[in-house]
Amino acid sequence: MLGTFQQSSLRIEVAASEQVLRQSLTDSAKLQQWLSPLRLDRGLPEQLQPGLSFTSWAGPIAIQQVVDQVESNRLRLLLSKGIDGFHEWYWGDGWVQSRLEGISLLPLNLAQTASLLRLRQFLSQ
């Protein structure tokens, strides 16, 4: 994999309960809404489950994702192709945290910050 090793952990406050955050992060239709302009494969099951493999697209760059773990307040995705690493999400009442680590040519911290801000905006609507 070409690129630079990058790691970032960000945590923000959001106006949402733990249950709403879980739905927003594990329901594929809701994911597609707030992750835009990132595109997800069509035909995903309603809920993300361990072992599910799908591709997301950041413009022309494909990012293969495999759901490693889904818990009541945690989601872990293994990443390959455009990012070689992992993305973990943790959440609770009023907060969400994203931990991203991998090798990529993409500016991961910038993308991570933008996605958290899009999630916050989605939850405020």
CATH number of the structural domain spanning residue 86:
3.30.530.20
Number of domains in the chain: 1
> What's the whole-number mean pLDDT along residues 11-31?
96
pTM: 0.94
Q: Which helix (H) or strand (E) holds 29?
A: helix 28-35
Could you give the strand order of the β-sheet that contains 74-81, starting from the edge strand earlier in sequence? 4-13, 95-104, 84-92, 74-81, 61-71, 53-58, 39-40
- Are 9 and 99 within 8 A, CB to CB? yes
Is a pLDDT exceeding 70 seen at residue 74? Answer: yes
Is a pLDDT exceeding 90 seen at residue 42? Answer: no
> What's the whole-number mean pLDDT along residues 72-82?
96
Q: How confident is the model at residue 114 (pLDDT cuts 50, 70, 90)?
A: very high
pLDDT value of position 1: 67
Q: Which domain holds residue 48?
A: 4-124
